[in-house]
Structures are given as structure tokens and as C-alpha cells.
Structure 1
Amino acid sequence: MADWRQVATKADRDRLRTWRESWVAATDKARAAGNGAALAAQGKLFDPDHALAGAVPPPGTYRCRVFKLGAKGVGSRDFSAFPFFDCRVEAEGDVSSFYKADGSQRPVGLAFPDSDTRAVFLGTMMIGDEKVALQYGRDADRDMAGILQRVDAKIWRIALPSPRFESMLDVVEIVPAK
């Protein structure tokens, strides 16, 4: 079985090690800025202690959206919700791939099994008109590391603690395409 610990950079292992602290700090900051109702409206999506068996979505087409919590610096908001976009999950042997199909910023990476309720996402950000993703580990500013979990019958999330820019926590919601 593929082991994410053998693939992850030291910086990403550190981010994953402190994922819960990042999560709590980001949601606390979002609530303090008056976004408690917006967080609560998403149900279990923002509950760091809620995860169900079946951490990795089955292969297929999905609708995904990003939430950014806890502003880093001036000019960012403590809670931002972005529109849904098309994304895909594919089986790749011991791991699954995840990628955003279009747009100016396109996460792409692999989900490594970790436990029945958790997988680890390691990837990179494709930008603009790039046709090929940078290899994970080549550009720390584009590397992404997160926790993939199922939170409802057909809802998954990738929680990305301490992303490089804008926020303290990014959460990617993943739901089946209709």
C-alpha cells in the first residue's frame, strides 16, 4: 500500500501534524468575525471531529467548492465561499487522483489511504493555462497537503491546513455531480 509519509515533504508533514490546531484557529477566527451562521449552515462540513467510514470518494465526476477560513493578513476575509466547479476522482492503483477540471487555479493530486475515516491528499496547484502540473515537492508555494474525509452519505471534504496564501484553512467540499 502507498504510504503518504514517504511522499510528503517535511513542511507538509508538519502542516498535517498540526491540522487540528489550524482548523480550530481558523473556525474561531471566522466565528469571531461574525460568520458563525455561515459555518453552521454547512452542517458537519466544518466539524473537525466528524468523519465517517469511506474516506475516499468512488471514481467519478463531482461538483466541488472551496471555503477559505481565517484570513492571513490584510485584505482577505475570514470566511469566503466560492461557487461550485467540476472535479474528478479517478482510481490509480493504491491511491486515487483528484483534480479540478477547469479554472485559473486547479488543484491536482493524490489521495493516500491512511485509515477507514481518513486519507491524506498531497498535490499541487496548476495555474492559468498550464497543461501539465508541477511535480509535487518541486515548488513549496504550490504544494498542497490535506485530510480527505467523508462527512455525510455523499459528501466528502479535503481540509487543507495552513495553505500558503490567503487563509488559515481551506476546505474543499466534494459532492456527486447531478
Structure 2
Amino acid sequence: MGRTKWVIAVALGVALSACRTVPAMPPSAADAPDTTGSWRATVTDQDQERIRGWYKSWQAALADARAKGKGADIDREGVLLQPMAALPNPHLPAGDYRCRTVKIGAQGRGGLGYIGYGWFRCRVAPEQGLSSLTKLSGSQRPVGLIFPDNLKRQIFLGTLELGDEKMAVNYGSDRMRDMAGLVERIGDNRWRLVLPAPTYESLLDVIELVPAN
């Protein structure tokens, strides 16, 4: 039986308040009775390996960053970059968020071991019985769905929108754009999206999310 694939598209509204939406998912993924395992019916083999190897990716990224003299930057981020910092109740409420990306480790010898970006805009919205997460600004914009998993994490599956693109590619149609990660709560009104083994630049990406208001 072929693996279920779902489409993530971005619709641009004419009003400033319009938000990006995710089209319908197939019933096998969105309405599965076993909701704790529904992401497994959707995930690609590549992304399943990313999720399975999240801790190994994190260790490699931190080791590379420290070897390149970025230990102080890592330590300054505190709990954000501590692999085992996830707290119970990872649910990410709907709403607008401030979000910032930290890239750790580098693919290749010449890359930087740590890059911390400024704040951008993200949005979480109800979507097909799940939640969608969209980065609304910046040159690299993840967009996808959040699936339940366990008491300390949810699973993000999505694709990467680049530059001035107005629509994300289908999940599962371009392995260079597919993304998979862990949504975790790390404090009061503070979450992170951990993206192990990203396709570009780094060994690990961590997106911090805090409510916009």
C-alpha cells in the first residue's frame, strides 16, 4: 500500500488579516482513530528517520558548534538548546507568535557552528482536526501540520517555502523541501520546534515560539 501523502498549500488573502491555510488531508491521516499514531501514516521514510534520530542529530550539532568556538553562544541560549528540556503538555495553542530560528552545527567544514536570527512572525491555527504552523515572514518559511504524539512532544510535518514563493510544494513530492520535527514546551508560554538533520546549511534547526501578545 502506498504511503499517504497530503498537500500543504498557501493561500494569500486580500485582507491584511487573512491567514495561510492547509487544504484537506486524507481521512487516513486526519481522522485516524489512533490519533497518537496518525503522523506515522503520513510521514515519509526520510522524515521518520529524522524524527527517530533527533537526539543523535542534536548531539552532533552541539559538538560541531562547540568545536568551532560557539560554546558561549550555545550556553547563552539556555534551555532553548538543551536536548532534554521538554516539559509535559506540549500543546501549542492557536494564535500569533513571535518566532526566531537558531541554526546549530554546519554541513561542511567551512560553515558556521551557530547562527541566531532575529524575530519573525508565525501563526498556529486549527486545521482539519489538528493544528497548522506557518512561519509568515522571512526567507525560509516552514509550513505544515502538528500531530499529537506523547506527553512531552507533538510532531510537525511540513515543507519549506523559500524567498518570494506564494505556495508551498506538496509534502512528500520534494525531499529537499520536506521537513519534520518535534514541537515541545520549554517554559511558561514558550515552545520550540526542533528540526533535526535539515536539508540545508545546518545539522539542527531550533525555532523558538512565544505568543505575540
Using the size of structure 2 for normalisation, the TM-score is 0.80
For residue 7 of structure 1, what is the aligned residue in structure 2?
A: 42
Count of matched residue positions in the alignment of Structure 1 and Structure 2: 178
Task: Name 2:185's counterpart in structure 1.
Answer: 150
Across the aligned residues of Structure 1 and Structure 2, the Cα RMSD in angstroms comes to 1.3
The structural deviation recorded for 1:133 is 1.2
Counterpart contact for 1:94–1:112, Cα < 8 Å: no
Give secondary structure in 1 for the equivalent of 2:169: coil
Which residue of the partner structure matches residue 176 of structure 1? Answer: 211
Gap runs ≥5 in structure 1: none
Q: Greater shift after overlay, 125-134 or 18-27?
A: 125-134
Of 19, 41, 47, the match for 2:76: 41
Q: Which aligned pairs between 1:90-169 and structure 2 lie closer than 5 A?
A: 90-169=125-204
Q: Which of 87, 100, 105 matches 1:70?
A: 105
Q: Could you say what secondary structure the match of 2:69 adopts?
A: helix
Which has the larger Rg? 2
Q: Match for 1:59 among 88, 94, 105? A: 94
The answer on 1:24 being equivalent to 2:64 is: no
Alpha-carbon distance in structure 2 between the residues aligned to 1:30 and 1:104: 23
- State the Cα deviation string for residues 14-33 of structure 1 (Å, max 9, x = none): 11111100001101111222
Which 4+ stretches in 1 moved above 3 angstroms?
none
Aligned mates of 1:10, 1:174 — CA distance in 2: 27
Partner of 2:22: none
Task: For residues 33-89 of structure 1, give each alpha carbon's deviation from its aligned partner in whole angstroms, at most 9, with x where no partner exists.
Answer: 222221121221111111112213100000001111111014420000011100101
Partner of 1:34: helix, strand, or coil?
coil
Residue 80 of structure 2 aligns to a residue in which SS? helix
How far apart, in 1, do the equivalents of 2:140 and 2:84 lie? 29
Once the two structures are superposed, residues 94-125 of structure 1 have per-residue CA deviations (whole angstroms, 9 ceiling, x without a partner) of 32110011232211011111012100110001
Letter in 1 for 2:60: A
More strand by share: 1
| Change in CA separation of 1:176 and 1:53 when aligned onto 2, cut-off 3 Å | same
Structure 2 distance, partners of 1:94, 1:115, is 17
CA distance in 2, matches of 1:152, 1:30: 24
Which residue identity does 1:68 align to in structure 2?
K
